[in-house]
């Protein structure tokens, strides 16, 4: 069973082209591999603008995430920057139901911003928030890449650079699954390894 099949067969997922089963996309690419390659080019081209957008904001929150997603993917998907309308799951992880995303996001980001503003956000705690915020999965696609942009900025604000090249998809997914099950040690270990205090570069 593929990840999206838990709630929707490919035919029922309104985000997919019913003939090709590929996500509907602006250039109307017909295969998953063409779409993946196009997504990657567009994402890279807009990455800096998205980073600058989140960096310029007072709060790191759902609106900022939506803006980042829109900047990264508006040339790929009509719904870029908009919250998803269907339920999604990956493996055994069931992400937030669409009707709850806003409320759950506001709760998490409110606490995150309070910790940031009172200088109480440690790097280990930020890693726990990463795992919690992953469960929101507010968009139909592109959650991982855009969440990483947000957390580069979270870590910068507490004095760390993040280098995601020091991890890989397998380690990240394992850490996200452990976090979903209430074990934050893997995500804390992951971020401990891929972050470095900014002042150590002085
Ligand atoms: N089984 C899972 N449980 C929890 N999180 C997962 C699982 N599998 C993948 N993820 C997370 O979801 C992200 C992928 O979500 P997706 O919306 O496809 O983003 P992107 O398209 O940017 O990779 C991964 O980076 C990982 O963090
Ligand atoms: Mg994806």
pLDDT at 9: 63
Q: Residue 8: its pLDDT value, please? A: 65
The pTM score is 0.95
To test the pocket of ligand 1, the residue of 38, 76, 94, 134 to mutate (highest count of ligand atoms within 8 Å of its CB) is 134
Concatenating the DSSP letter of every residue in 29-45 gives --SHHHHHHHHHHHHHH
Distance 199 CA to ligand 1 centre (A): 31
- 132-162 pLDDT, tens per residue? 999 999 999 999 999 999 999 999 999 999 9
Report pLDDT for 4.
47
Q: Ligand nearest 43 Cα, by number? A: 1
Task: Enumerate residue ranges in the chain where pLDDT < 70.
Answer: 1-11
> So what's the pLDDT on residue 12?
81
Domains of the chain: 32-196 (1.10.3290.10)
Residue 140 Cβ inside 6 Å of ligand 1? The answer reads no
Question: What are the backbone angles phi and psi of residue 142, rounded to the nearest 5°?
Answer: 90, 20
Does the CB atom of residue 142 touch ligand 1 within 6 A? Answer: yes
* pLDDT of res. 68: 99
Range list of H helices, the chain = 32-55, 62-73, 101-117, 123-134, 143-157, 169-180, 185-194
Distance 140 CA to ligand 1 centre (A): 11
145 lines ligand 1 (CB under 6 A): yes
Instruction: Find out whether the beta carbon of 91 lies less than 6 Å from any atom of ligand 1.
Output: yes
Q: Which pLDDT score, from 0 to 100, does residue 186 have?
A: 99
């Amino acid at each position: 069973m593929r990840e999206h099949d838990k709630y929707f067969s490919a035919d029922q997922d309104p985000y997919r082209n019913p003939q090709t089963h590929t996500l509907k996309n602006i250039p109307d690419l017909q295969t998953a591999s063409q779409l993946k390659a196009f997504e990657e080019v567009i994402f890279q081209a807009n990455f800096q603008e998205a980073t600058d957008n989140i960096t310029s904001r007072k709060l790191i929150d759902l609106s900022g995430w939506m803006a980042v997603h829109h900047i990264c993917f508006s040339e790929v998907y009509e719904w870029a920057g908009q919250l998803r309308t269907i339920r999604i799951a990956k493996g055994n992880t069931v992400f937030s139901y669409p009707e709850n995303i806003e409320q759950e996001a506001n709760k998490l980001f409110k606490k995150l911003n309070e910790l940031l503003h009172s200088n109480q956000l440690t790097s280990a705690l930020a890693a726990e928030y990463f795992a919690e915020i992953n469960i929101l999965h507010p968009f139909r696609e592109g959650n991982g890449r855009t969440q990483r942009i947000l957390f580069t900025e979270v870590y910068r604000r507490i004095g760390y650079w993040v280098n995601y090249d020091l991890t890989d998809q397998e380690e990240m997914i394992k850490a996200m699954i452990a976090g979903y099950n209430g074990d934050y040690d893997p995500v804390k270990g992951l971020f401990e390894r891929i972050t470095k205090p900014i002042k150590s570069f002085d």
